[in-house]
């Protein structure tokens, strides 16, 4: 976020305004005389004016261009520049234009493929090219020095950039980890379904009742500048916050007292995240284009993650705690090994800046969202983009997988929270949640009984994950809320905002437990 206001994003607009003057010409009485230039006639009836017809054509063209642009954003094209040139050559297009750079060449290939797909020819042409590469027009032409010799034995390029041995080992480790986690999740779901002693409906009602009793427990001034992120430790005993002053702080819970300062970033800290497995590790991301790993008890710097070429936004730990994901305005997200500090994965796929990244509870999937209004789901075990969710009309700023394993929630600048079903591959429900943009979305981590959304309208709203009805609205902040987090047991919730305060919320049961422990 570049200032104290909302994120500056150029909206995608279409020239879809109706020409009212032209549309009224359909209702003009035949007895009223019109100039010949305004309306054309036949022997029996009046026709639409030329001006109105041109307006309709302009509108239809704008809609077509808009749909093609949205489709182009989801079109998968090679990331390797050699593969892009090869694909252009196969399609009979110029390999390069004067002054054209790699990204511009890739965008040109994408637009060509979208046009062919709209005409229903792309699949047929690609099949023909795969079988008859040597018979394509233009293959006899020279391409630079020695072009004929090169074309006699055309090279084949991989669609994906070749990965490292470390990435292969990481994929295998994540596959083994996710299989065990998925097995445990499915066994639990079957037991809850078949065991007569289990009563999911009653548990859900109790969890919703607990969420409805959440109230403000504590408020503390977090920094001298706006706060940007917050994260609970995995046992809920500590809370970390990040701020625009370039400092991250660790607080004790529930009394909200400062424990450790983390202050080695040169620019604003955009997000902070505790390791899901070890309270001793905490990561921060910053506008200085770096992420850092810290020892949370001593406040010492352990690792620097350098590589992004633009500011970082949200960061997230993999559920195993061994890897860190970072989303950046350089249109990529990256995966880092926290043990060695090595960059394992450099992932492109979005046409505009990335803002948020989150991992599936099993550790098998990752979701990336950003200013292109698209949510992409990646299989970490293969590196493939397996799902593309389109529906938001403005940038997506928050995303979270449900503990049930098959729902993904996203929220953004269009003020809505969308629930996506990974099984049906489509939007399940749209929550018109807030009056201003949604900055963060979080599921209750245990069973996903409820969902919380934070917004620039200064409120946090809690929704039932069963029917998506509102449960509770939390009002206490005086400025835009930038982030929230929920403890592992779902009993406490933390929020940070532009009013520079950190607030801790807790359910009535949590209050009673703390009082009993105090006694």
Question: How far is the C-alpha of 167 from the C-alpha of 310, rounded, in Å?
Answer: 23
How sure is the predictor about 210, in pLDDT bands with cuts at 50, 70 and 90? very high
Domain assignment of residue 188, yes or no: yes
Query: Domain of 369?
Result: 165-513
320 pLDDT more than 80:
yes
User: What are the tokens at 263?
Assistant: 């202050």
Residue 118 lies in a domain: no
**Cα–Cα dist 155/147, whole Å:** 12
114 belongs to a structural domain:
no
CA angle 148, 153, 156 (to 5 degrees): 120
Q: How many CA atoms lie within 13 A of 75 on its CB side?
A: 23
pLDDT category, 156, cuts 50, 70, 90? low
What phi-psi label fits residue 363: left (phi over 0), alpha (psi between -120 and 50 degrees) or beta? Answer: left
Q: Maximum distance among all alpha carbons in the chain?
A: 97
How many domains does the chain contain in total? Answer: 1
- pLDDT > 70: what percent of the chain? 81
Dihedral sign for Cα 475, 478, 482, 484, please: negative
Report the pLDDT value the prediction gives residue 148, as an integer from 0 to 100: 38
pLDDT of residue 58: 86
Please compute the mean of the pLDDT values over residues 16-34 and round it to a whole number: 40
Per mean pLDDT, which range of 83-97, 393-407, 476-490 is the poorest? 83-97
Task: For residue 60, name the pLDDT band (cuts at 50, 70, 90).
Answer: confident
Q: How far is residue 435 from each of residues 416, 478, 480, measured CA to CA in Å?
A: 9, 15, 12
Q: Are 234 and 276 in contact (CB under 8 A)?
A: yes
Under 8 Å between Cβ of 214 and 505 = yes
Beta strands in 307-425 (DSSP E): 312-317, 323-328, 333-337, 343-347, 354-359, 365-370, 374-379, 384-390, 396-401, 407-412, 417-421
DSSP code of 425?
A: T
Nearest to 292 by CA among 265, 319, 316, 260: 265
C-alpha 140: how far from chain center: 45
Place of tokens 């209050």: 511
Q: How far is CA 426 from the centre of its chain?
A: 15
φ, ψ (nearest 5 deg) of residue 394: -140, 170
Evaluate whether residue 13 is within a structural domain: no
pLDDT band of residue 150 (cuts 50, 70, 90) is very low
In the prediction, which pLDDT does 195 show? 87
Confirm whether 379 is domain-assigned: yes
Structure tokens at 497: 């905002």
Beta bridge partners of 475: 459
User: What CATH number does the domain containing 434 carry?
Assistant: 2.130.10.10
- The verdict on residue 286 lying in a domain is yes
pLDDT the model gives residue 36: 45
Whether the Cβ atoms of residue 36 and residue 7 lie closer than 8 Å to each other: no
CB 134 within 8 A of CB 156: no
Q: Would 141 be classed as within a structural domain?
A: no
- Among 81-95, 264-278, 321-335, 391-405, the minimum mean pLDDT is found in 81-95
Binning pLDDT at 50, 70 and 90, where does residue 339 land?
Answer: very high
Map residue 370 onto helix, strand or coil. strand
Radius of gyration of the chain, Cα coordinates, nearest whole angstrom: 27
CA distance 181 to 509: 30
Contact 440, 456 (CB under 8 A): no
275-295 confidence digits (pLDDT tens): 999 999 999 999 999 999 999
- Contact between 436 and 479 under an 8 Å Cβ cutoff? The reply is no
Distance in angstroms (rounded) separating the CA atoms of residues 414 and 373: 10
335: tokens are 């995966």
Q: Is 307 in a helix, a strand, or coil?
A: coil
Tokens of 221: 């001034």
Is residue 514 classed as helix, strand or coil in its secondary structure? helix
Length of the chain: 519
Q: Is 459 left (phi over 0), alpha (psi -120 to 50) or beta?
A: beta
C-alpha angle 211/217/220, rounded to 5°?
130
| 21 inside domain | no
CB 101 within 8 A of CB 121: no
Choose among 494, 464, 492, 491: nearest CA to 477. Answer: 494
Whether 282 and 297 have beta carbons less than 8 Å apart is answered as no
- Long-range pairs of 20-26 with CB within 8 A, sequence gap ≥ 24: 21/51, 21/52, 22/48, 22/49, 22/51, 22/52, 22/53, 22/55, 22/56, 23/52, 25/49, 25/52, 26/52
pLDDT classification of 8: cutoffs 50, 70, 90 = very low
pLDDT surpasses 60 at 21: no
């Amino acid at each position: 976020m570049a200032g104290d206001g909302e994120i500056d994003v150029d909206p995608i607009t279409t020239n879809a305004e109706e020409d009212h003057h032209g549309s009224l010409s359909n209702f003009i009485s035949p007895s009223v005389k019109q100039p010949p230039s305004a309306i054309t006639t036949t022997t029996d009836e009046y026709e639409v004016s030329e001006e109105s017809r041109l307006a309709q054509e302009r509108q239809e063209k704008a809609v077509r261009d808009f749909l093609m642009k949205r489709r182009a954003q989801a079109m998968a094209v090679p990331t390797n520049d050699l593969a892009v040139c090869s694909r252009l050559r196969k399609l009979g297009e110029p390999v390069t234009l004067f002054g054209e750079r790699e990204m511009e060449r890739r965008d040109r290939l994408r637009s060509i493929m979208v046009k062919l797909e709209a005409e229903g020819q792309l699949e047929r042409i690609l099949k023909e090219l795969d079988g008859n590469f040597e018979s394509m027009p233009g293959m006899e032409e020279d391409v630079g020095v020695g072009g004929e010799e090169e074309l006699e034995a055309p090279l084949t390029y991989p669609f994906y950039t070749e990965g490292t041995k470390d990435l292969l080992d990481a994929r295998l480790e994540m596959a083994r980890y996710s299989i065990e986690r998925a097995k445990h999740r499915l066994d639990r779901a079957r037991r809850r379904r078949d065991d007569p002693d289990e009563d999911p409906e009653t548990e859900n009602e109790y969890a919703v009742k607990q969420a409805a009793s959440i109230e403000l427990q504590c408020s503390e001034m977090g920094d001298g500048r706006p706060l940007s992120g917050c994260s609970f430790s995995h046992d809920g005993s500590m809370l970390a916050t990040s701020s625009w002053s370039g400092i991250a702080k660790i607080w004790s819970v529930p009394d909200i007292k400062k424990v450790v300062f983390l202050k080695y970033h040169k620019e604003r800290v955009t997000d902070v995240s505790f390791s899901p497995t070890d309270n001793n590790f905490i990561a921060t991301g910053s506008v200085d284009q770096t992420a850092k790993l810290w020892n949370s008890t001593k406040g010492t710097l352990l690792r620097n993650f350098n590589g992004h070429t633009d500011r970082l936004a949200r960061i997230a730990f993999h559920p195993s705690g061994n890897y860190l994901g970072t989303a950046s305005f350089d249109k990529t997200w990256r995966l880092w090994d926290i043990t060695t500090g090595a960059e394992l994965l450099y992932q492109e796929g979005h046409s505009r800046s990335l803002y948020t990244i989150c991992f599936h509870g099993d550790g098998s999937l990752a979701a990336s969202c950003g200013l292109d209004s698209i949510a992409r789901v990646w299989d970490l075990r293969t590196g493939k983009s397996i799902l593309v969710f389109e529906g938001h009309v403005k940038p997506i700023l928050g995303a979270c997988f449900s503990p049930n394993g098959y729902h993904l929630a996203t929220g953004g600048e269009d003020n809505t929270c969308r629930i996506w079903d990974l099984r049906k591959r489509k939007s399940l429900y749209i929550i018109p949640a807030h009056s201003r943009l949604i900055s963060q979305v979080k599921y209750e981590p245990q069973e996903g009984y409820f969902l919380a959304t934070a917004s620039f309208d200064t409120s946090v709203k809690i929704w039932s994950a069963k029917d998506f009805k509102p449960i509770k609205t939390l009002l206490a902040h005086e400025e835009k809320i930038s982030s929230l987090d929920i403890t592992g047991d779902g009993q406490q919730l933390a929020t940070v905002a532009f009013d520079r305060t950190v607030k801790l919320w807790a359910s009535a049961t949590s209050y009673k437990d703390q009082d009993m422990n105090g006694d």
